[in-house]
Amino acid sequence: MTENVRVRFAPSPTGNLHIGGARTAIYNWAFARRHGGAFILRIDDTDPERSTAENTRAILSALRWLGLDWDEGPEAGGSHGPYFQTERAPSYAAALERLRAAGALYPCFCAAEDLAAKRDAARAAGASSGYDRACRDIDPETAAARIARGDQHAWRLRVPLDRGDITFVDAVRGESTFTSEVMDDFIVARSDGSPTYNFATVIDDVEMGISHVIRGDDHLSNTPRQILVFEALGAPVPTFAHLSMIRGADGKRLSKRHGAASVEEYRDLGILPEALVNYLALLGWSLDDRTTIIDGKTLQESFSLDRVSKNPAVFDHEKLEWMNGVYLRELSPDAFVERMVPFLVTAGLLSPDAAADSREQLLELVPLLAERVKRLDEVPPLVHYLFTDTVVIDESAREKVLRKPGAAEALDAAADVLDRLGEFTPSTVEEALRSVPEAIGHKPKVVFQAVRVAISGSTVSLPLFESVAILGKPRALDRIRRARAACQG
Ligand code: GLU
């Protein structure tokens, strides 16, 4: 690789990090790592109404959570900054001045209403609705005089009339051609002096030495305009790679309507970052035609643009959850506990200070949970009864189990055998409880369901003997006796 690879992820901080943006970031990051290049984070915060510092913070933290470290950008620094577009005004002004001096721009005095009216008329006539270049030929002195007089004006790029079609080879989509007719002399700076997106982004890409622009294909139609700006600046045009969008199962662009659509939401559902990176990496890219589980290291070693699909990818929640289950089961018990604690804390089952003291107890839960959950947010409801002093027995469990014949005897006998235990472990508990059905002449199911409802409040719980042992003798006996009282009511 002779080329110096420098790529950027350039989110607009108008919301949280969307799943599609996360995938774009992953591809940029993996591409940079694969080629020993630089991954740059740039914040496109030029929309003053929708960009917030809070959103920027959320995006940075989502990227960090995913494990995508950037070499240059906010908080990382770098020699090509600043990395916020709002801090780059001097660069835009200098580029504007340079192009103006070179005659590559011209001022446009057309009023917005006139432009809109012309556009509508052209559309109605079935003609091209681009700018009609009305101001292109105003002679320079007249233009200068009008500017001096304070006439409102924008600046447009003077696209060479003989430029011809604009063709580029997209690393994902192959050759794309845009006819020069659709390239009107677009605005690069608005009447308030602010640069347009197509102008600012190119100045940034040039000054940051970007070699490959890897981004969503919603920017495909901007690309020919951006190429014209690169050309006007006399700068080399980077390689473009446009990623097809991610769709929901209904074929529409993935959005809130399809459920969780941001990285934060998946984090809060208890999807592991490594599972989300794996899933998104393979949503549009493949290592080969078999591999479904690929770790970050392999991704960094093997990512290539030529295996990125140009077809839209469909987001499949079930597959993501399946993959997350695979990652959860691979965690060491210690790591599982570490990942699960924040969920217990959020659910109010554990105070952050108590987490260290409860470690042993939490470790006991891991083998019971790892096979049962696909997301960490499923943990609190499953273990709730192990973390509270008393349980509330749900009404249907009371009706279906405790009010049935045999339940009262079962609970009396269970309390009795458990009370006599010295060592209180899953196996001693099991042995003791297995003796009860025969002793009282009821089916095992009657006994075990009654004990289960007594200790968990519900007919579904983690495995019974382990649960009783984890609760410990005093709490288990207390619950069984309370439930016993409910049997008579
Ligand atoms: N800020 C733009 C966006 O969030 C990306 C610009 C680009 O990648 O060129 O869509």
Q: Is the CB of 242 under 6 A from ligand 1?
A: no
pTM, rounded to two decimals: 0.92
Q: How far apart are CA 150 and CA 23, in angstroms?
A: 46
User: How many angstroms is it from 213 CA to the middle of ligand 1?
Assistant: 10
What's the whole-number mean pLDDT along residues 257-274? 93
**142-194 residue pLDDT tens:** 999 999 999 999 999 999 999 999 999 999 999 999 987 768 899 999 999 99
Query: Does residue 393 sit in helix, strand or coil?
Result: coil
CA of 63 to the centre of ligand 1 (A): 16
- Which residues sit opposite 189 in a β-bridge? 155, 195
Mutate to test the pocket of ligand 1, among 16, 51, 215 (most ligand atoms within 8 A of CB): 215
For ligand 1, atom 9, the nearest C-alpha belongs to 201
The residue whose C-alpha atom lies closest to atom 7 belonging to ligand 1 is 10
Cβ of 14 closer than 6 Å to ligand 1, yes or no, is no
Number of neighbouring beta carbons within 10 Å of residue 212: 22
Q: How far is the CA of 208 from the centre of ligand 1 (A)?
A: 15
Burial 286-308 (b: 16+ CB within 10 A, else e): ebeeeeeebebeebeeebebeeb
CATH 3.90.1310.10 for the 395-486 domain, yes or no: no
- Condensed to tens digits (0 to 9), the pLDDT of residues 367-420 reads 999 999 999 999 999 999 999 888 999 999 999 999 999 999 999 999 999 999
DSSP 418: H
Q: E-assigned strands of 333-443?
A: none
Amino acid (1-letter code) at residue 324: N
Query: What is residue 444's three-state secondary structure?
Result: helix
Is the CB–ligand 1 distance for residue 215 below 6 Å? yes
Model pLDDT, residue 488? 62
- Say which CATH superfamily domain 88-243 falls into: HUPs (3.40.50.620)
Can 400 be counted among the known catalytic residues? Answer: no
> Ligand 1: does its nearest atom lie under 6 Å from the Cβ of 274?
no
Per cent of the chain over pLDDT 90 is 87
CB atoms < 10 A from the CB of 176, how many?
16
**Among 462, 446, 456, 460, CA closest to 483:** 456
CATH 3.40.50.620 fits 6-74+246-314, yes or no: yes
At 190-227, the pLDDT tens digits run 999 999 999 999 999 999 999 999 999 999 999 999 99
Identify the three-state secondary structure at position 421: coil
Number of Cβ atoms within 10 Å of the Cβ of 194: 14
The residue count of the chain comes to: 489
Angle at which helix 53-66 crosses helix 273-281, to 10 degrees, equals: 90
User: CA–CA separation, 314 vs 299, rounded Å?
Assistant: 21
Which tens digits make up the pLDDT trace of 335-382? 999 999 999 999 999 998 888 888 988 999 999 999 999 999 999 999
pLDDT band at 489 (very low <50, low <70, confident <90, very high): very low
Is 10's C-beta closer than 6 angstroms to any atom of ligand 1?
yes
Burial of 283 (C-beta count, 10 Å sphere; 0-12/13-18/19+): buried
Structural tokens at position 274: 């490594």
Q: Where are the domains of the chain?
A: 6-74+246-314, 88-243, 331-386, 395-486
Q: Could you tell which of 6, 7, 12 is best to mutate to test the pocket of ligand 1, judged by most ligand atoms within 8 Å of the CB?
A: 12
Measured from the Cβ of residue 444, the count of other Cβ atoms closer than 10 Å reads: 13
Tens-place pLDDT, residues 312-323: 999 999 999 999
Give the pLDDT confidence of 103-153 residue by residue, as tens digits.
999 999 999 999 999 889 888 888 877 898 999 999 999 999 999 999 999
Q: What's the mean pLDDT in 37-55?
A: 94
Q: Is 222 helix (H, G, I), strand (E, B) or coil?
A: helix
Distance 205 CA to ligand 1 centre (A): 11
Q: Could you check whether 6-74+246-314 and 88-243 share the same CATH topology?
A: yes
The yes/no answer on whether domain 331-386 falls in CATH 3.40.50 is: no
Cα distance between residue 267 and residue 276, in whole Å? 9
Query: In the predicted model, what is the mean pLDDT of the chain?
Result: 94
Q: By CB neighbour count within 10 A (0-12 exposed, 13-18 middle, 19+ buried), where does 140 fall? A: exposed
Separation of CA 10 and ligand 1 centre (Å): 5
Instruction: For residue 73, report the distance from its CA to the centre of ligand 1, in Å.
Output: 15
Give Cα 262 to chain centroid, integer Å: 4
- Write the CB contacts of 176 (distance below 8 Å, at least 6 apart in sequence): 167, 168, 169, 170, 220, 223
Nearest one of 209, 151, 143, 221 to 179, comparing CA atoms = 221
Catalytic residue, candidates 252, 256, 400, 445: 256
Four-residue CA torsion sign, 95, 96, 98, 99: positive
